[in-house]
Amino acid sequence: MEILVDNCKVEYKITGEGKDVVILQGWGTTLSMYDSVANSINSKYRVIQLDLPGFGGSDEPKEPWSVDDYADFVLKFLDALNVQEASFIGHSYGGRIIIKLAARQDLPVKIDKIVLIDSAGIRPKRTMKQKAKIRAYKIGKKIFSIKFLQKLFPEAIEKWKSRQGSADYRNASPIMRQCLVKAVNEDLTDHLPNIKADTLLIWGDMDTATPLSDGRLMEKLIPSAGLVVLKGAGHYSYLDQPYVFDRVMKSYFCIN
């Protein structure tokens, strides 16, 4: 299905009936990647999945958005669907958005429960090697912005650019790259104590994108949080350990 929100076309789908549960996706994924998550609970709940602007079949934002901008958009999307109360499930980047929403005062949507799956939001401390790499990148960017060098060595410059940043960054469009930079440079640790809703954290112990230490810190700082660790699972723990994940979700949402 499609809906127009603030002149932005959004792909979404709804399965099941009952109280609303909203799934917010990880960076660069499509809503269909969370069908198994929805199927864990849609026998009892109405589950709403969407492609965030810039992901899947939804339009890109017209300018680079921060996590707060995405949070604002989610509220507008839910208002368009007349959702006033819901539980939220977020994977990776979707977790960032939920943290932002749940820590706000006077939120127009009541949050029942939260599930954060391998959530992003904790900014890692940079090593000396990473700091040196960032300095080298900034120097290279400044040098390669010189016009006559761009004319002399266009192929070399493009090759250099293609090697910079993470896979997510390299695969993104110019606008989405700026959105990603805004996200990864923001640390949400200070927001965690402001989350009042009951929160389940699900983490893969082999996650290298958002390590288990992030989950343990969230468990410590979110007042009503519990952590479930899925052994042998990585950043997509719900796909790596589907059976265990399904049992955990059914238990948390009281589905027999």
Whether residue 93 sits in one domain with residue 143:
no
Whether residue 245 sits in one domain with residue 138:
no
Question: Which residue range(s) make up the domain with 142?
Answer: 128-171
Residue 179 lies in a domain: no
Residue 177 lies in a domain: no
Whether residue 143 sits in one domain with residue 93:
no
pTM: 0.86
Residue 180 lies in a domain: no
pLDDT of residue 171: 78
Whether residue 158 sits in one domain with residue 34:
no
Least confident window among 11-15, 102-106, 146-150, 202-206: 146-150
Confidence band, pLDDT 50/70/90 cuts, at residue 69? very high
Please give the full DSSP string across 13-35, using - where no structure is assigned. Answer: EEES-SSEEEEEPPTT--GGGGH
Can you name the residues that pair with 13 across neighbouring β-strands? 49
Range 75-93 average pLDDT? 98
Q: If you average pLDDT over every residue of the chain, what do you get?
A: 90
Quick check: 160 pLDDT over 50? no
Least confident window among 82-86, 95-99, 162-166, 198-202: 162-166
Whether residue 80 sits in one domain with residue 65:
yes
Range 181-204 average pLDDT? 97
Whether residue 132 sits in one domain with residue 113:
no
pLDDT of residue 125: 72
* Percent of the residues in the chain that have a pLDDT greater than 70, as a whole number: 84
Whether residue 95 sits in one domain with residue 7:
yes
Whether residue 101 sits in one domain with residue 18:
yes
Number of domains the chain contains: 2
Whether residue 192 sits in one domain with residue 143:
no
Quick check: 15 pLDDT over 60? yes
* 210: CATH: 3.40.50.1820
Single-letter residue type at 173: S
